[in-house]
């Protein structure tokens, strides 16, 4: 009999990549999707719907009764908890909902494993995050680094990380944390900064818009590809013992540098001038799009700043490399080109 996995957050970016990888390993996937007023919330996973090993049920991480029943009926081998209110800036606007889904949602799942006596059967993966670290100056962050989040999202995820460890230690549940740094792809949500920049730049060269508005350009992130990071999730949950692992590329770029990479790939050289809210990026050179030379294609708007931001995130994934034999295969330039080509096809 094939193994069975329940994935929460199936309709999200990682939901697709993880399902695709599990199905290729002949593992049955049951995804949880919440009810939406439009049917197209499954756009990312529509290509998987015809796979006999793939199914989707409607439910919500706020509903303990639903989660408990689903876990009781299916007695899964694996649960991957990917569902979350995952947007850091939005978590300042809806902090209570963020806590309910990200923190309490996690304990709802863990407690369903415990109360259904599945501690010896069901392995649990928690989608933990580098956002839990907070501002640690410019250190490379690993499993021992201090956790001092600076957002309601980070705080909710720290609760989930801790409760996952507590259920592992108290009830002997195979419960593990992947502490994943930012990972992107063509399927990244449109309001995260990488996809926003890519879509904005493609829209500019296609004459659909004239500039992109961004917030903190100084912010530095360690960006990888979601496919590589979902491979790591599987290695973590299938490892011989439950443990916590940092997953990162260990390389960093600022938002400003990411913008330059995107415009360069499209055939434009850009220069940032000015300071603070008056900073802009101007096109300095382009054989392909001469009409854009001297145009301001990036502006700063204070509405995209957060009350508190994490300014620098750089991982150290040595433990995963050593123990899980995991390493990322896709570098930032390949990521950028894949994202751009996808949006060049998508945007008319």
Active site residue 17: no
Three-state DSSP class for residue 5: strand
Among the listed residues 11, 106, 122, 129, the single catalytic one is 129
* Window 283-312: residues binding ligand GDD (CB under 6 A): 304, 306, 309
Q: Looking at the chain, how many residues does it have? A: 348
Among the listed residues 11, 131, 231, 342, the single catalytic one is 131
- What whole-number distance in Å separates Cα of residue 59 and Cα of residue 310? 32
The one among 84, 197, 332, 339 contacting ligand NAP by CB under 6 A: 84
| 98 touches 152 (CB < 8 A) | yes
Q: Which of the choices ligand NAP, ligand GDD, none does residue 15 contact, using the CB cut-off of 5 to 8 A by kind?
A: ligand NAP
| 55 touches 29 (CB < 8 A) | yes
Does the protein bind ligand NAP through residue 85 (CB under 6 A)?
A: yes
Rounded least distance, CB 178 to ligand NAP, Å: 8
- Dihedral, CA of residue 65, residue 34, residue 130 and residue 157, to nearest 10: -30
Does the protein bind ligand NAP through residue 200 (CB under 6 A)?
A: no
Going from the C-alpha of 232 to that of each of 58, 186, 245, 324, the distances in angstroms are: 27, 19, 9, 8
Active site residue 129: yes
| 235 touches 199 (CB < 8 A) | no
The one among 196, 235, 260, 319 contacting ligand GDD by CB under 6 A: 196
Active site residue 131: yes
Does the protein bind ligand NAP through residue 12 (CB under 6 A)?
A: yes
Provide CB contacts within 8 A for 132, sequence distance 6+: 147, 149, 154, 157, 158, 161, 179
Point out which residues bind ligand NAP (CB under 6 A).
8-15, 32, 34, 36, 41, 60-62, 82-86, 101, 127, 129, 180, 182-183, 189
Point out which residues bind ligand GDD (CB under 6 A).
86, 88, 129-131, 181-182, 191-193, 196, 214-216, 219, 221, 255, 304, 306, 309, 313
């Amino acid at each position: 009999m094939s193994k069975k996995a329940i994935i929460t957050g199936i309709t999200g970016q990682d939901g697709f990549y993880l399902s695709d990888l599990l199905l290729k390993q002949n593992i049955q996937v049951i995804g949880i999707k919440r009810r939406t007023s439009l049917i197209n919330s499954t756009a990312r996973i529509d290509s998987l719907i015809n796979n006999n090993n793939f199914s989707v049920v409607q439910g919500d991480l706020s509903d303990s009764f639903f989660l408990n029943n689903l876990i009781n009926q299916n007695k899964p081998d694996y649960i991957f908890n990917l569902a979350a209110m995952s947007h850091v800036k939005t978590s300042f606007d809806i902090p209570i909902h963020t806590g309910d889904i990200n923190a309490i949602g996690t304990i709802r799942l863990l407690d369903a494993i415990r109360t259904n006596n599945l501690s010896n059967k069901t392995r649990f993966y928690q989608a933990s995050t580098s956002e839990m670290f907070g501002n640690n100056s410019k250190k490379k962050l690993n499993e021992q680094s201090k956790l001092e989040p600076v957002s309601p999202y980070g705080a909710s995820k720290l609760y989930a990380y801790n409760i996952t460890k507590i259920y592992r230690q108290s009830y002997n549940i195979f419960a593990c944390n992947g502490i994943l740094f930012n990972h992107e792809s063509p399927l990244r949500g449109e309001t995260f900064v990488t996809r926003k920049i890519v879509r904005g730049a493609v829209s500019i060269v296609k004459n659909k818009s004239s500039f992109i508005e961004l917030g903190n350009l100084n912010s530095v992130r360690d960006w990888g590809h979601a496919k590589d990071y979902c491979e790591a999730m599987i290695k973590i949950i299938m490892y011989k013992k439950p443990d916590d692992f940092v997953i990162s590329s260990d390389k960093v770029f600022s938002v400003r540098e990411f913008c330059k990479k995107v415009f360069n790939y499209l055939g434009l050289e850009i220069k940032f001038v000015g300071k603070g809210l008056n900073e802009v990026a101007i096109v300095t050179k382009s054989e392909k799009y001469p009409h854009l030379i001297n145009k301001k294609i990036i502006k700063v708007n204070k509405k995209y700043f957060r009350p508190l931001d994490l300014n620098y995130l750089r991982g150290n994934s040595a433990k995963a490399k050593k123990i899980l034999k995991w390493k990322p295969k896709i570098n930032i330039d390949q990521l950028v080109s894949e994202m751009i080509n996808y949006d060049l096809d998508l945007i008319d």
